[in-house]
Chain A
Amino acid sequence: MKKAGSFFSKKTLIFFMIAMAVVCLPSQIVFAQLPENSTDVRALDDASNFDLTKDFRIEKTEIKGGSELITVFAALKGLKKSSDETPKDVPLVSILRDTLGDNKVENDSLRYLWMLTYTKPCLLQRASAFIPFLYTRTNNKKSVGDEPPPALLDMRSTDKQMWNKIFWIVFRHFVLNDMGSLARTPSLHYRENLKNYQKTAIVRALALISLYEAANNTKILSDSELREIQARLLVSDSFFAPLMQRENLDRLYEKGVTQSRDVLAQNWELLRQFTESQGLIFEPLSMPDGKTTHAIVWTTQEDISANQGKDFEGRFLNVKNPWKDERLTNWKGYKEVRWYDAENRQVEPNTPNATSKTLIPLGLYGLDFPKIPTLLVDFRDTRNPKKREMSKRILDDFTRALSISRFGNFPFFVGKFVYDYVTARRGMDINQVSRFQSYSQLKLLLSLNASLDSDFRNEISQRLEVVSLNPLENNLDVEVELAQKQYANLMAYALREDGLSAKIEKDRREEMVYLKHSGKERMWFAMGNFLSFGLYTHREKSTPELMAKLDIRRQLGYHERFLRQVAISSAKPEIDSNLETIRASLQFIAENGADAGDKTVKAISKIFTITAEENIKKLCLDSLYKINRPSAKKELLALYQNPQTDNQTRSISLNYLRQALKDNQKISPTDATFIAKLNND
């Protein structure tokens, strides 16, 4: 504690003061840039200005060696400078699908996802990201050179990432902590910034894929692939995410979609009610798929005059009382004139019997945030959302810098618990999780949504950049340029001999490790990878036999997943499932399924029980014979022993059991003894 105390007095305070000074700086700049006295007359926005099928398109590029690069392009209507201008068609997300060079979907594997606005930070950005308590952007990345962009997500189910996380935790506790605050604090700060930058990109990728899903008319990416991508993005932050079984991804996706829509709906309604109760105007902002992710709260010049001095309940709105704000009576910022009919519905300007109101924006809120709408832009106080965003980071960074552990310091533990509890329960917009998700989505919305006036959009963009705490971020216009350049680099990389095709080849060789080594051996390989900072990665030598095995293994995985899903979601396949695909999957396992897992054995047994289709039953028995696992033979034996089993099934089961014994298949000793006895009988 003494050490921590001394650090606080000398270093942290200085850092903190510098950081606060830097934080305050950009808002001054932004204020200086704001347009003055601009009042636009606003016509009605037509939601139909979105046409998903036209606004989104997809391009597929074949890669040598048997893979495909699929890129989603979006028309960034929001970035148009004038209404006549053709919107920029910008590549935003690329996905690599390894097809093994054939047309079989069963052995396809989604590998990498690039969010093309996501890039490696430049030197200055990296240096800034190391500075503790520096919660602001310092620079944009100017050039990306010819390097291919960094992949945002590796979609393989691999335990390597999990082991990396474990080793990082170990490293942090046993190495970094002993190096003192001067080394630890910047390192952790940098890692936090890096993690948040990655999360920001993931959120945007998720939103884009979701938008593309709504417009998916080409089916270049199948529905199940789109779901898989979104599910992987949803849990990418979770510790066990890399271990997630693919058969559960669909469920995860469905749960994620419902949860996200629930949050949006709750916040939409909360903000509408509280806006209404204070006599303010609520304007939802929608993504091209109609999903409302943000909202603007306005007041009117007329109300400002009428309500002078009135009380204001700012809970959840988190802006200052507009009725006691002198600046609003003589507002110099952005204004808009809108027309409303007798039912308070917005109508076209100069509609008969309609009245006009001059609207002044107060705040812009993100709705995709846990429990409360989160303030992203305060049009009267740019620092307001930033301070709220910083509140949790500062506390966390301080405790890290001072090495205060909640478990080692009881008063701190109690204080933090109470503070966390109260702010979380009340839904106070301080000490909350980061708003980078809403922030990131808003940037996307601004680029896609052409309904906002361009001056107003620019003002929002400028103010929004101030909210970002992360020096690794780039601003919206720069990101568009980055995306275009990075896409060009990625395409060049894809076509290079030593480029993407070589990477895929390496990945396949890495995948082959699973065909040759046990889990324990793979753990050692992962540790080697971590300790060598990624320099060493164990890979098998690619041979035609291993390639063939890989093909079979992938197909087997596909069929196993399918049968497990059937076993869970079917009460009787004849009624509720596709019998042809079940037959095909069972046929594959009966022919190639020696390595299928125990869960597949269970699934096949269940399918055998619930179906009355003779040929499917027979294929189940064939598969159980083929699967070289004790559990498969146990199931066959159980069928043979079950008095309710018909004679034909018993006979087939017995033959298979005898044959399995003869083939030296894996059988538990007890079962083997029993089968041998049957043989003798």
Chain B
Amino acid sequence: MKDKKGKIFIIFLLTVFFIHPVFAQNVKRVVIIKADGLPMYFLDRYVKMRDETGKSKLPWMEEVFYKNGTRLENFYVRGLSLSAPSWSLLDTGQHLQIKGNVEFDRYTLNNYYYLNFIPFQIDYGLKRRVDMPGVEVLDRLKIPLMVDAFSNEERIIGYQLFQRDNRWNTFIRSFANAFPPRLEDLVDEYTMGLSFRDAPHEQVERDIIRFLSERPQVNYFDYFTANFDHVAHHVSDDFSKFKELKELDLVVGRIWTAIQNSPRANETALVLVSDHGTNSQDGLYSQGFNLLRILGSADGGGHHIVTKRPPLANYRVVPEIPLFPFTTTVSKESSYLKGQSDKYPTVLIDFDGNERSSIYFRDNDLNLLHILFQQLQNKKLKPELKKAVTDAFFDVLNRRREEWQFEIAQFRTEIAAIDREIEEKQKVIATFPKKYTPEQVENGTEKANIRFTRLNSVSVREANQHEEYLRVLSNLISLRPENFNPTKLKLEDYIPPRAIGGRNSVYKLQNYVVSLSPNGFAVNEKGELDFEKSFRRINYFEFFQKQKVLNNVQKQISNRPIDFSAVPIPVGDIAPFLQEEFPLNCDPIWVYAGAEKQALVLARKDSEGKLSLKYLPISNLRETENGDFEFQKQEWSEGFPLKIFEDANLSISGDKRVWLSQWHTELEWLNATHKTTYSNGIISLTEQLNEQPIAFFEDNKNATADEKLIQRMKIRERNLVRADLLLMANDHWNFDVVGFNPGGNHASFLRVSTNSTFMLAGGKDTKIPQGLNITNPYDSLSFTPTMLALMGKVDQNGNPTNELYKKGFRKFPGRIVSELFK
């Protein structure tokens, strides 16, 4: 019997081994240095430079990662080279759900400002929340961070964008330690200008160095620094950037030395990772282009525009208070919304990173309805015109009535489900203690309860806000011509205020209504309103592309600030016009760089979820009012978006035109294009602009009816923060309006901005290869599964162990860096 059990056990083990071989690496403890905005090519240049003694200019980088570890020469961010999305990919290993540093809910204008740590710190002090906003969003989507693989006692976390928990002791001690104890040093620091910006991070470093020896139970440390990124935004000179690199080099040296002196040195790995690079070039200033100015002008539509922070924030008399959710820039040239900027902003912009902007336009039909409603409230409107306008109002409304009705019904069902969940959670919350024992504080019970309460309160708030939008929308669709008397109605009860409605189609963005025509309404022979003549419309693709500046003072910079714009087109809408490309199951991305230079980036996934892509050069794409698409296919030539064809670094064998005209897997595309000017842009456009699957929801086959509704609602909420249009700046241009970033910027798909750092080294038991330079390209989806695989928590197929599965981890879609395991 015993033998039989033993055999079964061996067979089981072998089965598990062959199905999910777990790597033989033995990293038990990891210290991750997270350096915001540090490009590998820049670091590599300085590692290879020698000082007068023959040592590397970055001696620790060379010693630790070049001699004793492994570096990935071609590691890229996937999606925008922008901090919040990039770190979300690195920290979770799951597809992109957070698509900007700021996101706005289209129905409530509620903003998600992932970098704003001030409300978080205040709320933490008031015991109202324990995690940064980005972590809360991921928690709601059941996407765990890498740090969640470790228990409360097992981890020491630095101050960062996706910060789980907070450590006020470190924070307080950091300021105490910021003052040098000796008077002469204090006087010198005072003379040079005392600065506390780095104090918390320096304290984290001191804690890590101490705890490496003092707390053997800790298996995960991380340290975050944004100094390089900060300097690179401000100044472009290599002197200043190298100064920051030297500081980082020393951090690496101190932590590495502390690891070597710690009892667990053999099983500890030190990792340096960055989220993106930077387009900062010595001798060049990055030039800003003010989108607020052009979109607020009459030519641009006279929009009232919402941004996360006010323009020229440092030049305002009233200092910026980072607790307000957003700020509105009022257009002086608004036509029909004069004096209504607080209720009816029509454009929202997230320009962070600055080499791109995500632009949200109000649903064009709401603009039409708004203008028509306003005109109908005008008692001087002639009766015959009034009828035409009323008919037009209901034409527009009837076009949308069914869709809106359906959405309201669905959304309300979901809200009902979440209300039931909230009620259940309230009962749990009622059982939480009012005061916590020191043990409960230490083991994280208190924080877990605060987190639980906070997420519930977010659900309550969002449900209420969305319900308010649905209420007004319901009012709108309840209007009927037979009893419609706009003069007795209040406009904001029917046109949702502080909301911009759903996303616009390509047709709407090509024919965006910004005001009544200068000549007023036009009526055709039948007495109907002539929509074409009655409204002023803007084709925003053309509008952005034609922008140019008068002052062209830097030789390397074009006088055209806009590179291209991109929008996803629902696959169902465009598929009939792309039959030869079937099967298509992802939204194609339309990329516009001028009437003649456009592309459709087509994507499809196979049964295992593997992505294939095709780049279709086209021209003159337009969507008709009834939803038909027209465009001309073009031969490959120079000048198409992403400039792949003409790039000397395109790495393909055989006929370039043939290869480029075929479908390829994303890995084939990555291998071919990663060294080109736009690196992995084709993959990143898809990652950024398409809806991405949420692993936990997809895996949750046994979900209850309510759970399914709640999951659907959460996906809906993510879709509500998606912008209409992604606008990319040309090389060395930026869209910052809060201040000026002449040093450099990022967020584009340019290789200078996407090339990131991933290097690691470890003690002898970790088996991390020494002196290895991995030249195969990888992207940020690879980071978390690779790290967890090194620790034996993920198998080579990206499947988490049972322990992690129970914690909410699901199969990782990224490739594990296999060279580390050879």
Q: With A241-B191, A425-B315, A576-B60 in contact, do A344 and B551 touch (Cβ < 8 Å)? A: yes
Q: Which of A243, A273, A344 contacts B552 (CB 8 A)?
A: A344
Contact yes or no, B559 A345, CB < 8 A: yes
Q: How far is the CA of A283 from the CA of B554 in the complex (A)?
A: 10
The smallest C-beta distance from B98 to any residue of chain A, in angstroms, reads 29
Residues of A near B551 (CB, < 8 A) are: 272, 275-276, 281-282, 344
Q: B-facing mask of A555-590, CB < 8 A → 1, else 0?
A: 000000000000001111001101010000000000
**Please, which residues of chain B bring their CB within 8 A of the CB of A281?**
550-551
Q: Is B440 an interface residue (CB 8 A)?
A: no
A316 shortest CB reach to chain B, Å: 8
Given contacts A275-B551, A576-B60, contact A262 B235 (CB under 8 A): yes
Please give me the residue from chain A that is nearest to B242 by CB atom: A254
In the complex, which residues of chain A have a beta carbon less than 8 angstroms from the beta carbon of B59? 575-576
- When distances are taken between beta carbons in the complex, the residues of chain A under 8 Å from B549 are 276, 344
Q: How far is the CB of A452 from chain B (nearest CB, A)?
A: 16
Interface contact A261-B317, CB-CB below 8 Å: no
Closest chain-A Cβ to B3's Cβ sits at a distance in Å of: 52
> CB-CB < 8 A to A279: which residues of B?
550
Instruction: Considering the complex, give the chain A residue whose CB is closest to the CB of B554.
Output: A284
Does any Cβ of B come within 8 Å of A266's Cβ? yes
Alpha-carbon separation in the docked complex, A330 to B559 (Å): 31
**B290 CB-CB contact with A under 8 Å:** yes
Inter-chain contacts of A273 with B (CB < 8 A): 288, 290, 740
Q: Are A345 and B552 in contact (CB under 8 A)?
A: yes
Is B743 a contact of A265 with CB atoms below 8 Å? yes
Question: A248 an interface residue at 8 Å Cβ cutoff?
Answer: yes
Q: Would you list which residues of chain B between 285 and 315 have a CB under 8 Å from chain A?
A: 285-288, 290, 293, 314-315
Task: Tell me if A549 counts as interface (CB < 8 A to partner B).
Answer: no
Fill in one digit per residue for A344-384: 1 if any B CB lies within 8 Å of its CB, else 0: 11100000000000000000000000010000000000000
Check if A290 is an interface residue, CB within 8 A of chain B.
yes
Interface residues of B in 157-194 (CB under 8 A from A): 182, 184-185, 187-188, 190-193
Are B285 and A268 closer than 8 Å at their CB atoms? yes
CB distance from B237 to the nearest CB of A (A): 6
CA gap between A277 and B311 in the complex, in Å = 15
Evaluate whether A425 and B316 lie within 8 angstroms (CB atoms) in the complex, with A241-B191, A277-B293, A571-B250 already known. Answer: yes
Please pick, from A258, A426, A575, the residue contacting B316 in the complex, using a CB distance under 8 A. A426
Q: Is B240 an interface residue when CB atoms closer than 8 A count as contact?
A: yes
A631 to chain B, nearest CB (A): 12
| Cα–Cα, bound, A346→B742 (Å) | 22
Instruction: Return B200 CB to nearest CB of chain A, in Å.
Output: 20
Q: How far is the CB of A374 from chain B (nearest CB, A)?
A: 15
Chain A residues lying within 8 Å of B283, measured Cβ to Cβ, are 290
| List of B residues within 8 angstroms of A255 by Cβ | 192-193
Residue B665 CB within 8 A of the other chain? no
Tell whether A425 pairs with B317 under 8 Å between CB atoms, given A266-B742, A277-B293.
Answer: yes
A273 to B292, CA, bound (A): 13
| B190 proximity list for chain A (CB < 8 A) | 240
Q: With A243-B184, A345-B559, A571-B256 given, is the CB distance from A258 to B235 under 8 Å?
A: yes
Q: How far is the CA of A158 from the CA of B207 in the complex (A)?
A: 38
With contacts A276-B549, A575-B59 known, is A258 near B188, CB below 8 A?
no
A272, B553: Cα distance in complex, Å: 9
Q: Which of B224-254 contact A (CB under 8 A)?
A: 231, 234-237, 239-240, 243, 249-250, 253-254
Q: Which residues of A contact B60 (CB under 8 A)?
A: 571, 575-576
Do residues A265 and B188 form an inter-chain contact, with CB atoms below 8 A?
Answer: no
* B558 on the A face (CB < 8 A): yes
Which of the listed residues A240, A265, A283 has the most CB atoms from chain B within 10 Å of its own CB?
Answer: A265
* Alpha-carbon gap, A452 to B596, bound state (A): 43
Task: State whether the Cβ of A343 lies closer than 8 Å to any Cβ in chain B.
Answer: yes
Closest chain A CB from B363 CB (angstroms): 30
A676 within 8 A of partner (CB)? no
Measured in the bound complex, the distance between the Cα atoms of B233 and A266 in whole Å is: 10
B55 touches A261 (CB 8 A): no
In whole angstroms, what is the CA distance A290 to B236 when docked?
Answer: 13
What 1/0 flags go to A2-45 for Cβ under 8 Å of B? 00000000000000000000000000000000000000000000
- Residues from chain B with a CB closer than 8 A to the CB of A280 are 550
Residue A548 CB within 8 A of the other chain? no
* Chain A hits for B287, CB < 8 A: 269, 272
Provide the bound-state CA to CA distance between A266 and B285, in Å. 9
- With an 8 A cutoff between CB atoms, is B609 at the interface? no
Interface residues of A in 259-305 (CB under 8 A from B): 261-262, 265-266, 268-270, 272-273, 275-277, 279-284, 290
**Chain B proximity mask over A594-610: 1 for CB below 8 Å, otherwise 0:** 00000100000000001
With known contacts A272-B553, A277-B290, A266–B740 Cβ distance under 8 A: yes
The reply to whether B253 and A571 contact each other, CB–CB distance below 8 Å, is yes
Partner of B55, one of A272, A346, A576: A576
Asked if A238 is an interface residue, CB under 8 A from chain B, the answer is yes
Q: How far is the CB of B12 from chain A (nearest CB, A)?
A: 48
In the assembled complex, B478 has its CB within 8 A of some CB on chain A: no
| Cβ contact of A248, chosen from B192, B257, B555, cutoff 8 A | B192
**With a CB–CB cut-off of 8 A, which chain B residues contact A283?**
553
User: Is B188 in contact with A248, judged by CB distance below 8 angstroms?
Assistant: yes
> Which single residue of chain A is at the shortest CB-CB distance from B315?
A427
Judged by a CB distance under 8 angstroms, whether B704 is at the interface is no
Task: Please indicate the chain B residues that have their CB under 8 angstroms from the CB of A275 in the complex.
Answer: 551
Encode A207-242 as 1/0 by CB contact (under 8 A) with B.
Answer: 000000000000000000000000000010011110
A541 at interface by CB-CB < 8 Å: no
A254/B553 in contact, CB under 8 A: no
Is A252's beta carbon under 8 Å from chain B? yes
User: In the complex, A343→B561 CA distance in Å?
Assistant: 12
Return the contact of A270 from the options B256, B548, B740 (Cβ within 8 A).
B740
Q: How far is the CB of A281 from chain B (nearest CB, A)?
A: 6
A459 to B193, CA, bound (A): 39
Within 8 A of A (CB), among B39-80: 53, 55, 59-60, 63
CB distance from B732 to the nearest CB of A (A): 12
Residues of A near B191 (CB, < 8 A) are 235, 238-241, 243-244, 252
Q: Is the CB of A284 within 8 A of B552?
A: no
**Per-residue contact bits, chain B 575-591, to A (CB 8 Å; 1 contact, 0 not):** 00000000000000000
- Distance between Cα atoms of A393 and B137 in the complex (Å): 54
Residues of B731-782 at the interface with A, using a CB-CB cut-off of 8 Å, are: 739-743
Q: Inside 8 A of B249's CB, which chain A residues have their CB?
A: 576
Chain B CB within 10 A, most for which of A238, A268, A576: A576
- CB-CB under 8 A from B518, the residues of chain A are none
Interface flag for B319 (CB, 8 Å)? yes
**A130-176: which residues lie under 8 A (CB-CB) from chain B?**
none
B288 / chain A contacts, CB cutoff of 8 Å: 269, 273
Q: Which of B182, B188, B550 contacts A344 (CB 8 A)?
A: B550
Q: Judge whether B254 and A571 touch: CB under 8 Å.
A: yes
Known pairs A344-B550, A575-B63; A422 contacts B317 (CB<8 A): yes
**Separation of A599 and B559 alpha carbons in the complex (Å):** 56
Least CB distance from B487 to A in Å reads 37
Task: Give Cα A422–Cα B317 distance, bound, in whole angstroms.
Answer: 6
Using CB atoms, name the residue of chain A closest to B58: A576
* Pair B235/A261 contact, Cβ less than 8 Å: yes
Interface CB pairs A-B, < 8 A, 10: A240-B191, A243-B184, A254-B243, A258-B231, A265-B742, A266-B739, A344-B552, A425-B316, A571-B250, A575-B253
Interface residues of A (CB under 8 A from B): 235, 238-241, 243-245, 248, 251-252, 254-255, 257-258, 261-262, 265-266, 268-270, 272-273, 275-277, 279-284, 290, 343-346, 371, 421-422, 425-427, 569-572, 575-576, 578, 580, 599, 610
Since A575-B63, A610-B257 are in contact, a sample of 16 more A-B pairs with Cβ atoms closer than 8 Å, ordered by chain A residue number, is A238-B191, A244-B188, A245-B185, A252-B191, A261-B237, A261-B240, A281-B551, A284-B553, A343-B559, A344-B550, A421-B317, A426-B317, A571-B254, A576-B59, A576-B249, A578-B53
| CB-based closest 7 A-B pairs | A571-B253, A265-B742, A269-B742, A269-B740, A258-B240, A344-B552, A576-B59
